[in-house]
C-alpha cells in the first residue's frame, strides 16, 4: 500500500497485508525522533502504540511511552521489547565529528548498538519493518558531479564507515527474514532548531538559524563547498513513506539514496540574504576549520536518486523555501 497524504493516520499503513499498531523509535529524544513521534501521534484516526527509546530520561508527546534503555544492555533491551513490535525506526546514533573524535564511542553506538538491536529482532514473533537512517558520509574519494544509485561506498570517516557497515547488515538481516529493512541515506537536514552539536554538518543549520535569531555564526568550510540538503519536514515525510512501502517494491537492496537539494554554501547564504536581508547574512563569520572541512569535502553534493524518486520519495525545491519553513516553525513554537 502507498502512504496516504500528509495527515493520514498511521493506522492506514499496511505492510504486506500486516496492520501495524506497535511502533518503536530509538533515539526518541533526538530532533528527528521527537518530530516523527509528533507526526504519528497527531495524525487523524486511531493512533498507534508508540514507544520512544533513548539513553537518558526525556518527555515524549502525549500518549507515547518513553523508555530509558541502553541498546547494548541485553537485559534492559529485551525487557523493553517485551510484547513485541511491528515497526522500528532506528535513529539512535553518535554524530559524525563526535564519532571521528571518539572512535570507541562511535563504534559502540553506531555499529555495536545497531547490531544488538538487529539481533534482538531475531527473538520477535515476526520480522518488524525496520527503518533506519544512513548518510552521504558513506561516500568519499573521487566522486562524479552527480552520484548514481549504484556507486560504490568508500567512506573517509569513522562515522561513514560505521554507517556503511550497517547498510550491509540491514541488507543481510532483511535477506535472512529477520527484519523488513529500509535504510535511507539522508541528505543533511536543515534548518535544525536548537544549538550547534558535534555533527560535522552542524554549521549548515547554524549559518541560517543563528543569523535569523540575530546571533553570529561561524562557517568552517569554503563557500564553494557543495551540500546535499533536505528540510526537516521532507525528512519526516521520507521516514513515514519508508514505513508505508511494500517489501516487494524494494527487492534485495534495502538501501535508498534520497533526493535532495544541491546547493553550495555560498548559495545557501545568498538565499538567506534574499529572505532575511543583507545585515542578517553579514552575521556569518567565514573562519575555516580544517578538521570539519576535511570531513565535509569528502561528501557528495548531488545524487541522481533515480530509485528513490521511482519509489515516491520527494525533495525540496528551493533553499529560500527551506529557510522560510524554518521561520514559520520558529514562530509557531515561540
Q: Which three cell numbers stand for residue 258?
A: 534520497
Beta-strand ranges (E) seen in the chain are 14-15, 18-19, 22-26, 49-54, 65-68, 87-90, 129-135, 180-186, 188-189, 217-219, 226-230, 255-257, 261-264, 284-286
Distance CA 55, CA 60 (A): 13
Question: Exposed/middle/buried for 218, CB within 10 Å: 0-12, 13-18, 19+?
Answer: middle
Count of all residues that appear for the chain in the document: 334
Residues 6+ apart with CB under 8 A from 294: none
Q: Which domains does the chain have, with CATH numbers?
A: 10-332 (3.40.50.720)
pLDDT tens for the chain, 334 residues long, are 333 333 333 443 443 444 567 899 999 999 999 999 998 887 644 556 899 999 999 998 888 899 999 988 888 888 778 888 999 999 999 988 899 999 999 999 999 999 999 999 999 999 999 999 999 999 998 999 999 999 999 999 999 999 999 999 999 999 999 999 999 999 999 999 887 777 888 999 999 999 999 999 999 999 999 999 999 999 999 999 999 899 999 999 999 999 999 999 999 999 999 999 999 999 999 999 999 999 898 899 999 999 999 999 999 999 999 999 999 988 887 6
User: What Å distances lie between residue 41 and 27, 34, 56, 108, 333, CA to CA?
Assistant: 17, 10, 21, 31, 18
Distance CA 84, CA 126 (A): 9
Classify 328 as helix, strand or coil.
Answer: helix
Residues 6+ apart with CB under 8 A from 37: 25, 28, 50, 52, 60, 61, 64
Q: Is the bond preceding residue 11 a cis peptide, omega within 30 degrees? A: no
pLDDT at 48: 61
User: Which among 13, 53, 130, 159 is annotated as catalytic?
Assistant: 159
Which residue in the block uniquely carries the three cell numbers 540575530? 214
- Of 155, 153, 142, nearest in space to 106 by CA: 155
The CA angle 310-265-226, to the nearest 5 degrees, is 45
pTM of the model: 0.90
Distance CA 256, CA 254 (A): 6
The CA angle 272-139-165, to the nearest 5 degrees, is 125
Helix 319-332 to helix 202-212 angle, to the nearest 10 degrees?
60
Q: Which three cell numbers stand for residue 40?
A: 504519528
User: What Å distances lie between residue 108 and 73, 92, 150, 161, CA to CA?
Assistant: 12, 12, 29, 13
Distance CA 205, CA 192 (A): 6
Helix and strand numbers (H, E) in the chain are: 13, 14
For residues 196 and 206, the answer to whether their CB atoms sit within 8 Å is yes
pLDDT at 267: 98
Active site includes 173? no
pLDDT at 77: 84
Which residue in the block uniquely carries the three cell numbers 487523524? 44
For residues 323 and 272, the answer to whether their CB atoms sit within 8 Å is yes
Torsion of CA 92, 234, 303, 175, to 10 degrees: 50
Distance CA 141, CA 156 (A): 7
pLDDT at 11: 45
The CA angle 307-310-313, to the nearest 5 degrees, is 90
Amino acid at each position: 500500500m502507498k502512504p496516504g497524504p500528509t495527515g493520514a493516520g498511521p493506522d492506514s499503513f499496511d505492510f504486506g497485508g500486516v496492520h501495524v499498531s506497535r511502533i518503536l523509535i530509538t533515539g526518541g529524544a533526538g530532533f528527528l525522533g521527537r518530530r516523527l513521534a509528533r507526526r504519528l501521534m497527531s495524525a487523524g484516526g486511531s493512533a498507534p502504540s508508540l514507544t520512544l527509546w533513548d539513553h537518558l530520561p526525556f518527555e515524549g508527546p502525549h500518549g507515547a511511552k518513553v523508555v530509558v534503555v541502553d541498546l547494548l544492555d541485553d537485559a534492559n533491551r529485551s525487557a523493553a521489547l517485551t510484547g513485541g513490535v511491528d515497526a522500528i525506526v532506528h535513529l539512535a546514533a553518535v554524530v559524525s565529528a563526535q564519532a571521528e573524535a571518539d572512535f570507541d564511542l562511535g563504534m559502540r553506538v553506531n555499529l555495536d548498538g545497531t547490531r544488538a538491536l538487529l539481533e534482538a529482532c531475531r527473538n520477535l514473533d515476526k520480522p518488524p519493518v525496520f527503518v533506519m537512517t544512513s548518510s552521504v558520509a558513506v561516500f568519499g574519494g573521487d566522486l562524479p558531479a552527480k552520484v548514481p544509485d549504484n556507486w560504490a561506498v568508500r567512506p573517509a570517516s569513522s562515522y561513514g564507515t560505521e554507517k556503511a557497515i550497517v547498510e550491509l547488515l540491514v541488507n543481510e538481516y532483511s535477506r535472512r527474514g529477520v527484519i523488513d529493512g529500509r535504510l535511507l541515506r539522508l541528505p543533511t537536514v536543515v534548518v535544525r532548531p536548537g544549538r550547534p552539536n558535534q555533527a560535522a554538518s552542524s554549521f549548515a543549520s547554524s549559518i541560517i538559524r543563528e543569523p535569523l535569531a540575530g546571533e553570529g555564526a561561524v562557517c568552517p568550510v569554503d563557500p564553494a563547498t557543495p551540500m546535499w540538503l533536505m528540510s526537516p519536514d521532507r525528512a519526516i515525510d521520507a521516514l513515514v513513506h519508508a514505513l508505508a512501502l511494500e517489501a516487494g517494491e524494494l527487492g534485495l537492496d534495502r538501501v535508498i539514496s534520497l533526493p535532495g537539494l544541491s546547493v553550495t554554501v555560498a548559495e545557501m547564504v545568498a538565499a538567506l540574504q534574499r529572505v532575511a536581508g543583507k545585515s542578517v547574512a553579514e552575521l556569518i563569520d567565514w573562519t575555516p576549520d580544517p578538521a570539519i572541512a576535511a570531513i565535509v569535502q569528502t561528501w557528495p553534493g548531488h545524487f541522481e536518486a533515480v530509485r528513490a524518486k521511482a519509489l515516491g520519495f520527494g525533495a525540496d525545491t528551493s533553499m529560500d523555501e527551506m529557510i522560510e519553513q524554518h521561520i514559520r516553525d520558529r514562530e509557531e513554537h515561540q
